[in-house]
Structure 1
Amino acid sequence: MHSLLKRQIDKKLKGGLNDLDIFLDAVNESYGNYESQIEMLQRAMKLSSDELFEANQRLRDEAESLKDVNKNLQSILESMSLDPELTSKNENFDSSEYIKQQSIEIIKINKQREELLVNLEKQNIALNEYAHMVSHDLKAPLRSIDTLINWFIEDNLEMMNENNLKSLNLILSNVEKMDLLIKGILNYSSVESQPGDERLIDLNVLIQDVLNIIEVPDHVAVTVKNKLPKIVGNDFRFKQLFQNLIQNAIKYNDKEKVIVEIGCLENENEIIFDVKDNGIGIPKVYQNKIFDVFSKLHNDGKSSGIGLAIVKKIIEFYRGKIWLESQESIGSTFYFTIPKDNGNT
């Protein structure tokens, strides 16, 4: 397609670089259209995330109600079997009717719970399908713009001046940012549907694999403080989890010697991991917001604002929790737990 593209560019420019502004305007207009679509996708994901949160909250409330009903029923059964005189003191007490009402209430709550679970699953499926569809539609034209701009620079390099190159490189930079954002959306939406079976993972080996994949500069020291356990899970999910935490620790660090430490503690029920750095730290007011989708403290073009949201989603998938301690200019420590019985063992 090289010759065809070149012919089309020459045809549009006619007089050479005198008409470059027309070409740049056309590309910038395309970029603006795709940015609008990205904003639409962000709004849709935000609405869907809010709906999922509300559904989860309702499930928790219903579960608590069910616990209360079960306790009441258990209390009645115990009183009837262990202490018959207790109920006989109340002349108006009808044990069979009471148990019947409790049974109806349990059936009603279970039905509501099942409906919520079905709706929650449908929303998850719809959100994933929408994210994949929009992301696929956006990636193809981005690749075309990137290829076209690079070919144009290569074929007309001798006619380029500083301003022309600056404009074209700005377009390439914006394309790269959008591509990074799209990848983040795809990773976030596919956390719960990753291919591959759950298996026993040696986290010591996994951390080394992660360090071999990411770019670790010479002034960065990443150490594992103690031997990490083996854990049942999906290899790709845990690689995403540790990769995002380690990359964040390296990226947001202003020290001459960057230190990142990984460790863990175990108790009877769970494993508590920590990833500590000596970076720039996170202000207290932002510490709860950084796990939200599309939330980022620094608009430097290096981050999609989805990395920590992916981390949180993976941990919650394994029924754990995450929190942090941080001081500005001193560093941050991210803590997260993975239950030993996380539903995959």
Structure 2
Amino acid sequence: ITLTNDLLIYSQLDDKSLNFEKVNLNDVVHNVLKDLKTAADDNKALINVDKLPEVICDKSQIRQLFQNLIANGLKYRGEKSPLIHISHKSSGDNYEFTISDNGIGIDEKYQIIIFDVFKRLHSQEEYEGTGIGLANCKRIIDNHNGTIKVKSKLNKGSDFIFYLPKKIKNND
């Protein structure tokens, strides 16, 4: 059932039904953190969020993006309690966002494939999941004419960095 639901979400993340509007990302992240409160509390996580900008985006897709990346920071943790930091900066015509964690990290040789569908680096017994979450993130960012990447060191944590344009390009 989980795989079916994840595939349904992935298939619905197209760019044809996007509803671009001005969105306060502080509100989006606040609501995501409310949804993840139990998982954060259970893992004794510390989540720091810098003040985030308003962006023109599809609110539901950007919410899904933050939900996936923060949930991964809680899930793929090492022995220490998760420490997650969400920040942004202006970078030319884009906003650059970083979601950092102190989790298990990702071996450099796998960093190029983790945004592909069904690319799991761990067994189902180690970590639940379908291998679609990061593919969803890439699809969301692609729908917003942005880019996403990861910088990570094994057993040191990961930085998921994504760029969103400050202005929406008119495709007319």
TM-score normalised per structure 1: 0.46
2:164 aligned residue:
338
> Match for residue 91 of structure 2?
267
TM-superposition CA deviations, 1:12-41 (whole Å, max 9, x none)? xxxxxxxxxxxxxxxxxxxxxxxxxxxxxx
Q: 1:1-345 counterparts in 2 under 5 A?
A: 179-192=1-14, 197-214=19-36, 215-218=38-41, 219-224=44-49, 226-300=50-124, 302-343=128-169
**Kept after mapping to 2: 8 A contact 1:318/1:343:** no
| Cα contact 2:19–2:58 (8 A) shared by 1 | yes
- The structure with the largest strand share of the pair is 2
Partner deviation per Cα, 1:45-84 (whole Å, 9 max, x = no partner): xxxxxxxxxxxxxxxxxxxxxxxxxxxxxxxxxxxxxxxx
How far did residue 193 of structure 1 move? 5.6
Q: Aligned with 1:204: secondary structure?
A: helix
CA distance in 2, matches of 1:229, 1:202: 6
Which residue in 2 is equivalent to 1:98?
Answer: none
| Identity of matched residues, % | 35
Q: Distance in 2 between matches of 1:211 and 1:293?
A: 25
Provide the rounded CA distance (Å) in 1 between the counterparts of 2:162 and 2:9.
20
Contact in 2 for aligned 1:322/1:334 (Cα 8 Å): yes
Contact kept in structure 1, 2:15 and 2:143, CA below 8 Å = no
Q: Which residue of 2 aligns with 1:108?
A: none
Q: Which entry has the higher C-alpha Rg, 1 or 2?
A: 1
Distance apart, 1:235 and its partner CA:
1.2
Superposed CA deviations along residues 122-141 of structure 1, whole A, max 9, x for unmatched, are xxxxxxxxxxxxxxxxxxxx
Does the 8 Å contact 1:255/1:278 carry over to 2? no
Query: Aligned partners of 2:139, 2:17: CA distance in 1, in Å?
Result: 16
Name structure 1 gaps, 5 residues minimum.
Answer: 1-178
CA contact (8 A) 1:244 1:311 kept: yes
**CA-CA distance at 1:187 after TM superposition:** 0.8
Distance 1:194 1:186 in 2: 16
In the alignment, is the contact (CA less than 8 A) between 2:76 and 2:103 conserved in 1? yes
- How many residues of Structure 1 are paired with residues of Structure 2 in the alignment? 165
Normalized per residue, the structure richer in helix is 1
Question: 1:213 Cα deviation (Å)?
Answer: 1.4
Residue 217 of structure 1, CA deviation: 3.0
Offset, 1:342: 2.9
